């Protein structure tokens, strides 16, 4: 990851990781058995839970890294690998149509899989850990980036029914492929930055 990542670029990265367009069909499938009047409430609840989880990782990221004795280089490399795998599944989804996070369950969803890992997935957590560890003095910037990414994700997901009808599944699929390609590019950059930083630190 670049040392001078801006708030906007961090927000775009987190938005791509959250993948709201790719989550639209999954969320609609998860909510199909929920009464229409409760769907929006359930979605808002899950989005708020996801935001809370991500904020915990944002503010507790450095303490977690110190506790686990992890170096920024390892987080960068691991985060790049996770993002790469997510991006690959966005570009080449599973043949069974289960989506990025597996097949949806039945009944009203709670926390899993909508909040975690639907919005607050391991790749988003790893990205926040990396941001806070590489530039710890910019916590306010990362909070703003997270809020912007979450707000954009929330708007799209809360409008999922209308977007699905308006754009159609084929357009949403194409947009998700583009987002997946961008995420793959970010993952490669993150991985290479981690490797380069590790090589520089070697005696």
Give the predicted TM-score (pTM) of the model: 0.73
pLDDT for position 3: 47
Which tens digit of pLDDT belongs to each residue from 44-103? 999 999 999 999 989 987 787 778 777 767 777 877 787 788 778 778 877 665 554 455
Residue 144 has pLDDT above 60, yes or no: yes
In this predicted model, which residue has the larger pLDDT, 115 or 79? 115
Give the residue, 141 or 95, on which the prediction is more confident: 141
103 to each of 9, 14, 94, 118, 168, how far by Cα in Å?
31, 23, 10, 12, 21
Say which residue, 193 or 203, is predicted with more confidence.
193
Q: Which two tokens stand for residue 163?
A: 């977007």
Residues near 88 by beta carbon (within 8 Å), at least 6 away in sequence: 180, 184
């Amino acid at each position: 990851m670049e040392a001078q990542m801006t708030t906007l670029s961090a927000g775009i990265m987190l938005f791509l990781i959250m993948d709201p367009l790719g989550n639209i069909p999954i969320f609609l499938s998860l909510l199909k058995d929920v009464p229409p009047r409760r769907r929006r409430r359930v979605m808002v609840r899950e989005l708020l839970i996801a935001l809370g989880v991500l904020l915990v990782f944002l503010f507790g990221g450095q303490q977690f890294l110190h506790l686990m004795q992890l170096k920024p280089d390892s987080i960068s490399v691991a985060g790049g690998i996770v993002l790469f795998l997510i991006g690959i599944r966005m570009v080449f989804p599973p043949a069974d149509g289960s989506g990025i996070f597996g097949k949806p369950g039945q009944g009203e969803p709670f926390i899993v899989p909508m909040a975690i890992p639907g919005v607050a997935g391991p790749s988003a957590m790893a990205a926040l850990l990396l941001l806070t560890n590489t530039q710890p003095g910019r916590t306010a910037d990362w909070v703003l980036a997270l809020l912007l990414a979450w707000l954009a994700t929330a708007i799209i997901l809360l409008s999922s029914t209308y977007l699905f009808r308006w754009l159609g599944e084929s357009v949403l699929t194409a947009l998700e492929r583009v987002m997946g390609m961008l995420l793959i590019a970010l993952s490669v950059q993150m991985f290479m930055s981690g490797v380069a930083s590790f090589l520089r630190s070697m005696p």
